[in-house]
Amino acid sequence: MLNLLREGQVYELLLVSKSNLTPVGVVRRGRRLHFRLFPGKSFRDLLESSYAAIQITNDPELLVRSALNLELNLKFESEGEYRWVSNMPGWLGEVQCSRKIWEDEIGTTEVLECEFVPKRELPGEIPLRPFSRADCIIIEMAVLFTRYLVKPGDKTRAKILELYKLYRHLGGTSETAEYILAHLTKGSQK
């Protein structure tokens, strides 16, 4: 199943750690999956326990809502130190992380550079979901919004607003997009 991920391409997958679920941008190199974590719950979890699951979804709402820590309707299973979402394909494995310093336009921060070694495949079903550009756009909005939460700025805000317009133009109606918009406006009034 690892071959489903083209080597070197970034895939938005779900990382299930000790106490958290979050989307991560994952790149496969050989039989290992690489990702980078900025400070947060998953970052802290992986420092405490290296057991994790990486799972595959094609549900944009799930990727976006888990990034924003909004309510989700998911069932979890666990075994020993492992935890995963029921009936969702992916892998259980161990994560080796090293702490690095990261610098970008947001500032300087610590990051975890992580390498996930799959130990066991998780079976599951992915619902049939036709491709929609609106789904791509809401993912992009959420990525930018999580950056905006760390460092609010007019440029990021303007990009999100532009994406929101395109999202609506493409027929997107998710209430999560409205949530992003509402919190964006509040952020800018601070």
Ligand X SMILES: Cc1cc2nc3c(=O)[nH]c(=O)nc-3n(C[C@H](O)[C@H](O)[C@H](O)COP(=O)(O)O)c2cc1C
List of residues contacting ligand X (CB under 6 A):
12, 20, 22-25, 35-38, 40-43, 63-64, 67, 139, 142-143, 146
Q: What angle do CA 129, 130, 134 make, to 5 degrees?
A: 105
Q: Using CB positions, name the residue nearest to ligand X.
A: 40
CB of 25 to ligand X, least distance (A): 4
Q: C-alpha distances in angstroms, 3 versus 14, 72, 80? A: 17, 29, 27
Residues 109-114: contacts with CB within 8 Å, 24+ apart? 109/38, 109/39, 110/39, 111/36, 111/37, 111/38, 111/39, 112/36, 112/37, 112/43, 112/46, 112/47, 113/34, 113/36, 114/34, 114/35, 114/36, 114/37, 114/46
Closer residue to ligand X in complex, CB, 122/142: 142
CB of 12 to ligand X, least distance (A): 4
Beta carbon of residue 187, minimum distance to ligand X (angstroms, whole number): 15
Q: Which is nearer to ligand X, 123 or 131 (CB)?
A: 131
Nearer to ligand X among residue 38 and residue 179 (C-beta): 38
> Is the CB of 123 or the CB of 186 nearer to ligand X?
186
- Shortest reach from residue 1's CB to ligand X, in Å: 20
| Nearest CB to ligand X, comparing residues 35 and 82 | 35
Cβ proximity of 10 and 126 under 8 Å: no
Tokens of 120: 């066991």
Q: Which is nearer to ligand X, 11 or 168 (CB)?
A: 11
Rounded to whole angstroms, how far apart are CA atoms 5 and 26?
Answer: 9
Nearest distance in Å: CB 124, ligand X:
19
Q: Minimum distance between the CB of residue 140 and ligand X, rounded to whole angstroms?
A: 8
